Chain A
Amino acid sequence: MAIFNLQKREIECKIVYYGPGRCGKTTNLDYIYNKFKKQVQGEMVSINTEGDRTLFFDFLPIGIGKIKGCEVKVQLFTVPGQVQYSSTRKLVLKGVDGVVFVADSLEVRREKNLLSLKDLQQNLKEYGLSISKIPLVLQYNKRDLADEGLPIMSIEQMEKDLNRQLKVPSFPGAAIKGDGVGKTLQECLKLTLINLQKELKWAD
């Protein structure tokens, strides 16, 4: 539910990072906060619990400059990944314009990825949104852990598991090193703004 301020020629949209617990959603935002200083428009707020787990959400406001004469502001959010915080995830998802689904490449987390994607689909549905229509990008995170000797899934397998029907853009990532973080966000922003342009027709 983007806000379009016609007088100020300003548009504000909301992108939510979704995914299972410990998949690297906060790490994505941390990297953006630390490396994209020019775009960051305020402090990153993280509300964590024991073990550095996101309790409610992380929030990071960024600005990406003017597009067709309109200042574009973006609110980046993460949801808590742990299963028990389902109601909080739904709250954070309210008013979402675009979603980055961060999947964990570790083999042992395969089922958690699937459950989380299903949870996303269900929560979007409850807001009258469709997972196949909302701007969505997948990130297959933690690719770097293969170097440590941990068994990870192949990209093909992850595509088959998560993206067979959706057919949305997907990127390998190692958020801890920043790999794929920028590309993922950039693609999600692109899809979101195209979608908003269609809805709000601000750039006509």
Chain B
Amino acid sequence: MGLKETIKATLKEAELYKSQGLLNEARQKYNKVAQLIENNAQIPNSKSLLDSVKKKMKALDDSHLRVVSAPTTPVMSEKAQNLIKELFTFSKDSDKASLALEGAISLAKFGQYHRAIEEFKKLLSDENVRIAAAKNIIKCYYEFVSIDKAVDEYRAWKSSSLFSPVQLEKVLGFLAGLIEKSGKSFDLDKVEESAETVLMPDEAVEEILDISSVGISLEKGVKSGSEIELDVSFQAGNVISVIISSKEKELIDNLKIGVKLNNVNFYSPIAIFRGSGIISASTKIDSGPKKGDYCLDIKVTNI
């Protein structure tokens, strides 16, 4: 094949690759043509021919640039988003909230984070999926907006009454991991449990055995370090009541509402469990044989 035919055939090849969307392959062919022209200056009109090839190369490069710089996660139509939810929700027997959660996760995986966040937020009202929805909101903000936005969201939740302290603690643990990844630092206090919140239902302690007495180790005062054993007068779920004699003034002063008890021995008829609790109520008994004594409610937070 002569030079002229080679150039013609290579140009045709380049055009065909271009029509196939094979831009790199087309570019290689144009390069070859340009080189052939440059190396053979005797070709009639070589300059205008080379200019024409270079124009084609430039147009190809522009197309290539548009392809590589196109957004990888453009916002899709609502219809397409609904289809993603439908097609990528695989659980068949789950409850409604779990299915909705899976659908929202699919949206997030396909980069549809605005809609995903909207849907996760709706799910925050459902106790069963609240933590998972919250973690996903945090993740979406971290991935698609910024870690700062994720922290702002957490702070807003912390100042609302939607989450129990245990739930907030879990979300905070997840957020802390992402903050570490981001390399930034934020001043986020640990979640404080208050008397108002400790009685909220949560998943910390679902079912505990009957507890007959507790052994508490105080961390300060004259009796610090030694274990004080108290009989349980009443138990409702994970809240136990103990009576403290009015003579135990130091003990009464130390065990105020909100105080965390980190090292508690819970004595049940079958075994001793080590765990923790929090003073959720303290009431002075006004009448009867125990008048003047104190009734303390301890919520078992971990056993």
- The yes or no answer to B230 lying at the interface (CB within 8 A) is no
**Of A51, A55, A149, which contacts B13 at CB under 8 A?**
A149
- The yes or no answer to A7 lying at the interface (CB within 8 A) is no
- The yes or no answer to A45 lying at the interface (CB within 8 A) is yes
CB-CB under 8 A from A88, the residues of chain B are 110
Given contacts A50-B70, A51-B63, A84-B72, contact A91 B21 (CB under 8 A): no
Within 8 A of B (CB), among A136-154: 142, 145, 148-150
CB-CB under 8 A from B90, the residues of chain A are 1, 94-95
- The yes or no answer to B74 lying at the interface (CB within 8 A) is yes
- The yes or no answer to A195 lying at the interface (CB within 8 A) is no
- The residue of chain B having its C-beta at the shortest distance from the C-beta of A75 within the complex is B87
Given contacts A3-B92, A95-B90, contact A148 B16 (CB under 8 A): yes
Bound-state CA distance A152–B45 (Å) is 33
- The yes or no answer to B76 lying at the interface (CB within 8 A) is yes
Given contacts A56-B110, A91-B109, A150-B13, contact A45 B83 (CB under 8 A): yes
Bound-state CA distance A106–B84 (Å) is 33
- The yes or no answer to B41 lying at the interface (CB within 8 A) is no
CB-CB under 8 A from B236, the residues of chain A are none
* Residue total for B at the interface (Cβ-Cβ under 8 A): 27
Closest chain B CB from A195 CB (angstroms): 19
Within 8 A of A (CB), among B5-40: 9, 12-13, 16-17, 20-23, 25
**Of B67, B76, B110, which contacts A91 at CB under 8 A?**
B110
| Contact indicator A108/B17 (Cβ below 8 Å) | yes
- The yes or no answer to A183 lying at the interface (CB within 8 A) is no
| Contact indicator B21/A22 (Cβ below 8 Å) | yes
CB-CB under 8 A from A109, the residues of chain B are 22, 25
Given contacts A45-B83, A108-B22, A109-B22, contact A150 B110 (CB under 8 A): no
**Of B63, B83, B92, which contacts A59 at CB under 8 A?**
B83
Bound-state CA distance A108–B76 (Å) is 34
- The residue of chain A having its C-beta at the shortest distance from the C-beta of B23 within the complex is A51
- The yes or no answer to B66 lying at the interface (CB within 8 A) is yes
* Residue total for A at the interface (Cβ-Cβ under 8 A): 30
CB-CB under 8 A from A55, the residues of chain B are 72, 74
- The residue of chain B having its C-beta at the shortest distance from the C-beta of A56 within the complex is B110
CB-CB under 8 A from A94, the residues of chain B are 88, 90
Bound-state CA distance A106–B21 (Å) is 13
Bound-state CA distance A50–B64 (Å) is 9
Within 8 A of B (CB), among A61-107: 75, 84-85, 87-88, 91, 94-95, 106
Within 8 A of A (CB), among B99-146: 109-110
- The residue of chain A having its C-beta at the shortest distance from the C-beta of B79 within the complex is A45
| Contact indicator B87/A49 (Cβ below 8 Å) | no
- The residue of chain B having its C-beta at the shortest distance from the C-beta of A84 within the complex is B72
| Contact indicator B22/A47 (Cβ below 8 Å) | no
| Contact indicator A51/B16 (Cβ below 8 Å) | no
| Contact indicator A52/B12 (Cβ below 8 Å) | no
CB-CB under 8 A from B92, the residues of chain A are 3
Bound-state CA distance A91–B108 (Å) is 12
Bound-state CA distance A91–B73 (Å) is 14
- The residue of chain B having its C-beta at the shortest distance from the C-beta of A14 within the complex is B87
Closest chain A CB from B92 CB (angstroms): 7
CB-CB under 8 A from A85, the residues of chain B are 72
- The yes or no answer to B222 lying at the interface (CB within 8 A) is no
CB-CB under 8 A from A108, the residues of chain B are 17, 22, 25
- The residue of chain A having its C-beta at the shortest distance from the C-beta of B112 within the complex is A56
- The residue of chain A having its C-beta at the shortest distance from the C-beta of B64 within the complex is A51
- The residue of chain A having its C-beta at the shortest distance from the C-beta of B110 within the complex is A56
- The residue of chain B having its C-beta at the shortest distance from the C-beta of A49 within the complex is B70
| CB 8 Å contact bits of A16-28 with B (1 = contact, 0 = none) | 0000011000000
Bound-state CA distance A107–B95 (Å) is 52
| Contact indicator A145/B16 (Cβ below 8 Å) | yes
9 interchain residue pairs of minimum CB distance? A50-B70, A22-B21, A49-B70, A51-B67, A108-B25, A50-B66, A50-B67, A150-B16, A148-B16
What are 28 A-B residue pairs whose CB atoms fall within 8 Å in the complex?
A21-B21, A22-B20, A49-B72, A50-B66, A50-B70, A51-B21, A52-B21, A53-B67, A55-B72, A55-B74, A56-B76, A56-B84, A56-B110, A59-B83, A59-B87, A75-B87, A85-B72, A91-B109, A94-B88, A106-B22, A108-B17, A108-B22, A108-B25, A109-B22, A142-B20, A148-B16, A149-B12, A149-B16
| A-to-B contact residues, CB < 8 Å | 1, 3, 21-22, 45, 47, 49-53, 55-56, 59, 75, 84-85, 87-88, 91, 94-95, 106, 108-109, 142, 145, 148-150
